[in-house]
A and B are shown apart, each in its own frame.
Chain A
Amino acid sequence: MNVGNLNPDTFAQTLASTGITVRCGPFVTRIISELPELTAPIQLLYSEFPIIEDSLVDFHVRVKAKSGLSHRLRSHITFTLDREEAFFPFHRSLALPLFEWGMNWCVYGNAHQFEMIHGAAVQRGKQTLMMPGVSGAGKSTLCAALVSRGWRLLSDELAIWRPGEDVILPLARPISLKNYSIELMKSFAPNETFGPYFGNTAKGALAHMRAPRESVRKMDEPSAPTHIIFPRYTAGSGPELEAVSKRDAFVRLSEYALNYPVHGKEGFNSLVDMIEKCDCYDFRYSILDDAIRAFDELS
């Protein structure tokens, strides 16, 4: 039974009462929310994910109106993990962005059985690309573009692996797009499914693209990275792949590491092993079609 299979009213009722439990890759999350703003978008963006019974739940999550100051209007909402609040209260018009950021926060704040970096990961055939970066440098746009052209999405935001292993575990959660990327992707990939548009978050305009069905279906198929690519959208630039020394890749990659020192020697060796096996590049681009072609030619 997938999230999308439930009748919308049933989905809303269950979400508001006992909660809906979904699995995204290795993480099982039980979500409870009475907010009507959240029901339809979650059911849309997570439609392909299985609903889980009988599993240990990693994250017990609630998104609800904050009682207190705006009690009568209930205009502000919070995301809590087992009663611990992530961030500060948001305005309820930003329920979905809060939810998505909160889901990421659950992982990078807690899942220390994994090494984690901020970055995207995609796979096609023998190539698995890891693209470190925080939102804004063009990583998500590139990721979305690749995914809409046949690459499998492992993750848009968090590349994770177990220390001592060399494979990245997929999460296949929605890809977040900002500002100009939203319109760009809607015309580049009109057949993909997009969530609602949020005009005024702290980080500009925001919308989400759903992961393709295949990517979600294969969320239990991890993959060892073959390339580490640092993407940078550069206006007017033709597609340029420039080799980066492994040592520099190490330095730059560790800047995006979310929990690097936690795993001690094992984590250090794991990171070095991974980089040893990868070809490392800087990638500058301005036109998505150029980027797709350049990546098609990667060997």
Chain B
Amino acid sequence: MRDGVNLIWRRLGDDYVVFNESSGQTYVPHPLSEWVLREIEVSEKTLGSLADQLVQDAELDPEVAEYRVREVLDEFNTMGLIEPGHKFD
């Protein structure tokens, strides 16, 4: 996660909506993005470690896990939520 990004999480029903106070952008994440976002908000994570965790917790195929996580990180990159470097870990 980038320095200075400040997220506000609100629960609506069973889902969450997220507001980035620094950019004024609002985000309605799907379950996987929500999970990734929470993980990287807490501490720095690499693509690999996130994928590994998914494989463990969700019993996903490793290739699929990596693909999906990369997709999510790409999206976060476009939105300016993460440092560019994260993509390549």
| B26, chain A: closest CB distance, angstroms | 6
A247 and B13 in contact, given A264-B21, A265-B21, A268-B19 (Cβ under 8 angstroms): yes
Q: Contact between A265 and B8 (Cβ–Cβ < 8 Å)?
A: yes
| A275 contacts chain B at the CB level, 8 A cutoff | yes
Residues of A within 8 A of B19 (CB): 265, 268
Taking a contact as CB atoms under 8 Å apart, the answer to whether B12 and A254 are in contact is no
Whether A276 is near chain B, meaning CB under 8 Å from some CB there, is yes
Cβ of B21: which chain A residues have Cβ within 8 Å of it?
A: 264-265
CB contact between B8 and one of A247, A268, A275, A276 (< 8 Å): that residue: A268
Assign chain A's interface to a size class: 10 to 19
Query: Which residues of chain A are within 8 angstroms of B24 by Cβ–Cβ distance?
Result: 261, 264
Q: Which residues of B from 1 to 58 have beta carbons under 8 Å from A?
A: 8, 10, 12-15, 17, 19, 21, 24-26, 28
Which partner residue on chain A sits nearest B15 by CB separation? A247
- Chain B interface mostly helix, strand, loop or mixed? strand
Q: Judge whether B17 and A250 touch: CB under 8 Å.
A: yes
Cβ-defined contact, A276 with B12, below 8 A? yes
Minimum Cβ distance to chain A for residue B16 (Å): 8
Do the beta carbons of B10 and A245 come within 8 Å of each other? Answer: no
Query: Is the CB–CB distance between A272 and B15 below 8 Å?
Result: no
A247 B26 Cβ-Cβ under 8 A: no
Question: CA of A282 to CA of B13 in the docked complex: distance in angstroms?
Answer: 17
Contacts of B26 in A (CB 8 A): 254, 260-261, 268
Whether A269 contacts B8 in the complex (CB less than 8 A), given A247-B17, A247-B28, A264-B24, comes out as yes
B interface bracket (residues with beta carbon within 8 Å of A) = 10 to 19
Q: Are B12 and A246 in contact (CB under 8 A)?
A: yes
Within 8 A of B (CB), among A243-257: 245-247, 249-251, 254
Q: What is the bound-complex CA distance between A249 and B12, given in angstroms? A: 10
> Which of chain A's residues have a CB closer than 8 A to the CB of B12?
245-247, 249-250, 272, 275-276
CA distance A13 to B35 in the complex (A): 66
Kindly supply a per-residue 1/0 record for chain A positions 13-39, scoring 1 wherever the CB is within 8 Å of any chain B CB and 0 otherwise.
000000000000000000000000000
User: In the complex, A269→B18 CA distance in Å?
Assistant: 10
Contacts of B13 in A (CB 8 A): 245-247
Is the beta-carbon distance between A245 and B15 smaller than 8 angstroms?
yes
* B residues at A contact (CB < 8 Å): 8, 10, 12-15, 17, 19, 21, 24-26, 28
Residue pairs across A and B with Cβ atoms less than 8 A apart, 16 shown, are A245-B13, A246-B15, A247-B15, A250-B12, A251-B28, A254-B26, A260-B26, A261-B25, A261-B26, A264-B24, A268-B19, A269-B10, A272-B10, A272-B17, A275-B12, A276-B12
Chain A residues in contact with chain B, CB under 8 A?
245-247, 249-251, 254, 260-261, 264-265, 268-269, 272, 275-276
